Structure 1
Amino acid sequence: MVDYAKLFSLRRTPQSESIPGTVPNTAGGHAFPVDDWTQLDRFLVLGSEGGSYYAGERALTRENAGAVLRCLAADGVRAVEAIVAVSEGGRAPKQDPAIFALALAAGAADLAVRRAALAALPRVCRTGTHLFRFAGAVDATRGWGRGLRRAVGRWYGERSVEALAYQAVKYRARYGWTHRDLLRLAHPETGEAERAALFDWICRGTLGEALPPLVHAFAAVQREGVNGATAAALVRSHGLPWEALPTELLASRAVNEALLDGMPVGAMVRQLGRLTAAGVLAPFSAGTARVVAALSDRERLLKARLHPMALLVALKTYASGRGERGRLAWEPVGAIVEALNAAFYTAFRAVEPTGRRLVLALDVSGSMGSGSVAGSSLTPREAAAAMALVTAATEESWQVVGFTAGARGRGTALTPLPFGPSMRLDAAVAATEGLPFGGTDCALPMLWALERGIPADAFVVYTDSETWAGEVHPVQALRTYRERTGIAAKLVVVGLVSNGFSIADPNDAGMLDVVGFDTAAPALIADFLR
């Protein structure tokens, strides 16, 4: 006789087989599909640049674009509000996904949605480079109608002349677009002499007397034969950004010292290697003290919308002593490395500890070592390590474990990881690289805790949800843990790839899916655990 209960179970099903509510994922396993609004949030924060281990960049982008379009069709105004919220809140490492989504909204069939998108243009596209990226996305998704031309014209007409001049000298050309191209498309009208002179200079190169002083300073520094001392004086007197200077002047120590004096904190973080190579940043130097002070200023970091990932990438690159491209090399200054490490935590929203007992489980499998998070140099595996440290630095009771291969490289297992708040970020990231990788079984944290009699209030799993290994689905393992321990344990899934899957059951109120590297994620997790 056949024992049908051994062939089909709702309590213990291999992850290679489906359970109610799941769909096949791209790894050969089964997971819960996320709704379009969740995928919209994932895309806005993580993007699809670089793709993932199982999905190429093009396929992942098309999948996410489909979700954006469905959200726009279902409630376009809500979708635009979500785009603005992520962008203005500094929640994403890059603006590109929000700009692309806004371009899709600007071409929506619903007039109210198009108007909302165009009204949001200056809020999402805050710099010239953002506007150029938007123009490229518009070319790929819709034509240049009158409403769109007027919206671009307002971008040039409503900000102050001084702010617009700064954009004109800092972001002169990007992605095949220039300010001249956009002004000729938009034809903005103005009755202000200074603004008209600025438009004339952008389009024709005319250096009129009515131009803002910054433009005259830019023209002066571009002249042949200008030396470092003269350029440094122009930088200090007019606030010229480094992008406005000829390449040959960027090797001058005097110029770099002048640039550092007024450099925005975001640009400072990106230029640490060059400033060190130029001798401006050295042990005990005034420049180093200025950088450390800036990185220690919470208000300044938050005001600059400096994303934690930008700080983590800067830490990884700066501590290596070499740029990712080119031949630039430097000797890292220890005080700056430590300041970057501390600033990473500062850039997240303040989180109150929950007092809960947490098992933090990192997916450090082979799939997590491929692709990138938000188009950065970080792999999902490195991002998982960094995100876990944020929670470990806040909470008092936690254990960090990693999904690894079992004995002799076979099967799956959990390996306790020596993570802690005293561990530097780059060291924690490096610690995940030498582990024996195997298939990912996201049910293991619950099974591991149950086998050892560990009383956990919540399991936080950092993963791409592309899982297939294991004899039981994670949600089934959690329910068994709850039944046998009497603890109403929760599951938080921190998604690190903008795909359409999650191991969290959307119909279980004790499970939550959040977007990794959303600056709001640690606080959201803490609120949910409470």
Structure 2
Amino acid sequence: MYRKHFSARATPQHQKIPGSKQVRNSAGGYAYPVDNWTRLDRFLILGTEGGSYYASEQKLTKENAQSVIRCIQEDGVRVVKRIAEISASGRAPKNDPSLFVLAMCSKYGDLQTKHAAYDVFGDIVRIGTHLFQFNEEVKGFRGRGRWLRRVNTAWYNTRPADQLAYQAVKYQQRHGWTHRDILRLTKPVPPDSEHNAVYRWITKGEMIEGTPKIIEGTERIRSIIEDTKTSARDAAKLICEYKLPREVVPTHLLNYPEVWEALLRDMPMTAMIRNLATMTRVGLIGPASQAAKTVEKRLTDETILKNARIHPIAVLSALKTYSQGRGLRGTKTWTPIQSVVDALDDAFYLAFKNVEPTGKRWVLGVDVSGSMTWGMVAGVLGLTPMIAASAMAMITAKTEKDHEIVAFSHEMVPVNISRKKRLDDVIRAFSNMPFGATDCALPMLWALENRVKADVFVVYTDSETWCGKIHPTQALQRYRDKTGIPAKLVVVGMVGNRFSIADPDDGGMLDVVGFDTATPALMADFVRE
């Protein structure tokens, strides 16, 4: 029987499906290539920090950069619009890839592309850190020209003076750049006396008439050199009076709860989430404390989360670290407050776009193979694609009552996870999973063997599948044929590579990007047709 050696219905994954558009993936198996625009989305949202099990960070970054160049050459204005859409709406965990691609647009884009980049520059480069990073990234593509001077000038001159002063004191130095460096290179003409006062303080350290109050407060708190309770109380008064950010507080005063209590009053959401462990360690956040109640109220306020562009990755990273009572770096420890852990759990789901239940039957397959335990999602230390995938699966599990969660590598892996489980429990469960080679066809084969009725299979994977006796698309078609159910397949890409197990020519299959905040809603719309 020659079909044993050559078949379009059951082909080993280390071989190409006859007549298909598959290409060899990094693991030696065969998968479908995603187009340049899909890869642009993956890069903007997932980044390439840490690389993957089969490809180094350098290799992934170079491959993605080449795809970005092709997109810019095809339609640079579309690239700029995509950067602005993903960055400004908070759909990406970090802004770093967007800044990198924007810098590439300034080099490889035509005149229309550069005009478009100028128009949305402030929407993408929102804070001082972004400005410093952009100016560092652009060094890899171009010199200091007129366009760069124009966008830098606009960034400083179009902001109200009090907001610019806040940026100047909070983000004083990043990535080898300071505001003084950029102002001296750009030489913007201040639009009014208030801006002139801010520029004078940045470049010369002088305070003149019209200097915003926050700069005065910054100078006053810097003069506190004693490390005493009295000094901490004085610092707390200055923080409240001038609404000072944490970055201007001398380090020796950050061990006092009264200082953190004053900071918490006007602390931005992102800073609050990052400093939960510190505020707990110094004793400000305790069981049933007022600070704990304040934190819980903010974390569970959907409007505040949306306005602050809090990404689920930021919440997940905080939850993972805070709940274990110790950081991945250093030796400092703390006792987690359970009510804060619960609030972080709620905040994770609230940070995604609202999803209406579809009422369909879902099988959620999480890839727990060895390659999924390597690298970092969005550059978050300790957040492997496998842990991120398990968290993403819970979003749909919380929404859809009729679902099954399964885990697989080269075999099905038992997993005891219900929709009522807290996220920190889910993370611990998946962190201890045994892992092996990758066979992404297993969820469909398992459902067929166990007579599980499913309208849609969702596979969270890096698509580096290679060890199965049948390709995932063939397994899905077999399931359709045997059950009579026109089941769909959604592939959630958890790594910024160019592979997918979804056949682009099959209208019942969809590629989406992991940890895009729009992904769960998009999946539900696809399933509803």
TM-score, with length taken from structure 2 = 0.97
Q: Which amino acid aligns with 1:392?
A: A
Partner of 2:81: 81
Q: 2:361 aligns with which of 353, 357, 363?
A: 357
Partner of 1:138: 138
* Native 8 Å contact 2:157 2:191 kept in 1: no
Would you say 1:167 and 2:167 are equivalent positions? yes
In the TM superposition, what is the alpha-carbon distance from 1:447 to its structure 2 partner? Answer: 1.1
In the TM superposition, what is the alpha-carbon distance from 1:222 to its structure 2 partner? Answer: 0.6
**For residues 417 and 223 of structure 2, what CA distance do their matches in structure 1 show?**
54
Partner of 2:314: 310
**For residues 404 and 256 of structure 2, what CA distance do their matches in structure 1 show?**
49
Q: 1:322 aligns with which of 319, 326, 336?
A: 326
Partner of 1:385: 390
**For residues 120 and 109 of structure 2, what CA distance do their matches in structure 1 show?**
17
Q: Which amino acid aligns with 1:369?
A: T
**For residues 61 and 71 of structure 2, what CA distance do their matches in structure 1 show?**
15
**For residues 38 and 463 of structure 2, what CA distance do their matches in structure 1 show?**
14
Q: 2:420 aligns with which of 404, 422, 434?
A: 422
In the TM superposition, what is the alpha-carbon distance from 1:429 to its structure 2 partner? Answer: 1.3
Q: Which amino acid aligns with 1:244?
A: V
* Native 8 Å contact 1:118 1:148 kept in 2: no
Partner of 1:27: 27
Of stretches 21-30 and 328-337 in structure 1, the one that deviates more from structure 2 is 328-337
**For residues 140 and 429 of structure 2, what CA distance do their matches in structure 1 show?**
42
Return closer, same or farther for 1:327/1:208 CA change in 2, 3 Å cut-off. Answer: farther
* Native 8 Å contact 1:222 1:246 kept in 2: yes
**For residues 191 and 393 of structure 2, what CA distance do their matches in structure 1 show?**
55
In the TM superposition, what is the alpha-carbon distance from 1:6 to its structure 2 partner? Answer: 2.2
Of stretches 318-327 and 461-470 in structure 1, the one that deviates more from structure 2 is 318-327
Would you say 1:296 and 2:300 are equivalent positions? yes
Of stretches 308-317 and 222-231 in structure 1, the one that deviates more from structure 2 is 222-231
**For residues 420 and 74 of structure 2, what CA distance do their matches in structure 1 show?**
47
**For residues 443 and 281 of structure 1, what CA distance do their matches in structure 2 show?**
47
* Native 8 Å contact 1:108 1:114 kept in 2: no
In the TM superposition, what is the alpha-carbon distance from 1:366 to its structure 2 partner? Answer: 0.9
Partner of 2:110: 110
Would you say 1:490 and 2:488 are equivalent positions? yes
Percent sequence identity over matched residues?
A: 52
Would you say 1:331 and 2:335 are equivalent positions? yes
Of stretches 166-175 and 117-126 in structure 1, the one that deviates more from structure 2 is 117-126
**For residues 11 and 341 of structure 1, what CA distance do their matches in structure 2 show?**
43
Partner of 2:402: 397
**SS of structure 1 residue aligned to 2:445:** helix
* Native 8 Å contact 1:274 1:328 kept in 2: no
- Cα RMSD (Å): 1.0
Would you say 1:235 and 2:235 are equivalent positions? no
Q: Please, which runs of 5 or more residues in structure 2 have no aligned partner?
A: none
In the TM superposition, what is the alpha-carbon distance from 1:416 to its structure 2 partner? Answer: 4.0
* Native 8 Å contact 1:46 1:92 kept in 2: yes
**For residues 167 and 420 of structure 1, what CA distance do their matches in structure 2 show?**
44
* Native 8 Å contact 1:389 1:419 kept in 2: no
Partner of 2:50: 50
**SS of structure 1 residue aligned to 2:413:** strand
Would you say 1:446 and 2:444 are equivalent positions? yes
**For residues 167 and 436 of structure 1, what CA distance do their matches in structure 2 show?**
47
Of stretches 301-310 and 418-427 in structure 1, the one that deviates more from structure 2 is 418-427
In the TM superposition, what is the alpha-carbon distance from 1:224 to its structure 2 partner? Answer: 4.1
Would you say 1:282 and 2:291 are equivalent positions? no
In the TM superposition, what is the alpha-carbon distance from 1:92 to its structure 2 partner? Answer: 0.7
**For residues 155 and 438 of structure 2, what CA distance do their matches in structure 1 show?**
48
Q: Please, which runs of 5 or more residues in structure 1 have no aligned partner?
A: 405-411
Partner of 1:367: 371
Partner of 1:479: 477
* Native 8 Å contact 1:106 1:118 kept in 2: no
TM-score, with length taken from structure 1 = 0.97
Q: Which amino acid aligns with 1:91?
A: R
In the TM superposition, what is the alpha-carbon distance from 1:435 to its structure 2 partner? Answer: 2.6
**For residues 430 and 301 of structure 2, what CA distance do their matches in structure 1 show?**
30
**SS of structure 2 residue aligned to 1:77:** helix
**SS of structure 2 residue aligned to 1:12:** coil
Partner of 2:217: 217
**SS of structure 2 residue aligned to 1:399:** strand
Would you say 1:340 and 2:344 are equivalent positions? yes
**SS of structure 2 residue aligned to 1:299:** helix
Of stretches 124-133 and 246-255 in structure 1, the one that deviates more from structure 2 is 246-255
In the TM superposition, what is the alpha-carbon distance from 1:57 to its structure 2 partner? Answer: 0.7
Give per-residue Cα distances to partners, 1:200-226, cap 9 Å, x unaligned: 110111121321010010011111436
**For residues 451 and 321 of structure 2, what CA distance do their matches in structure 1 show?**
42
**SS of structure 1 residue aligned to 2:512:** strand
In the TM superposition, what is the alpha-carbon distance from 1:70 to its structure 2 partner? Answer: 0.7
* Native 8 Å contact 2:47 2:379 kept in 1: yes
**SS of structure 1 residue aligned to 2:63:** helix
Partner of 2:526: 528
**For residues 206 and 330 of structure 2, what CA distance do their matches in structure 1 show?**
36
**For residues 160 and 516 of structure 1, what CA distance do their matches in structure 2 show?**
37
In the TM superposition, what is the alpha-carbon distance from 1:109 to its structure 2 partner? Answer: 4.2
In the TM superposition, what is the alpha-carbon distance from 1:440 to its structure 2 partner? Answer: 1.4
* Native 8 Å contact 1:359 1:459 kept in 2: yes
* Native 8 Å contact 1:440 1:467 kept in 2: yes
**For residues 262 and 484 of structure 1, what CA distance do their matches in structure 2 show?**
60
**For residues 191 and 498 of structure 1, what CA distance do their matches in structure 2 show?**
43
Would you say 1:247 and 2:251 are equivalent positions? yes
Structure 1 segments, 4+ long, off by >3 Å, are: none
Partner of 1:408: none
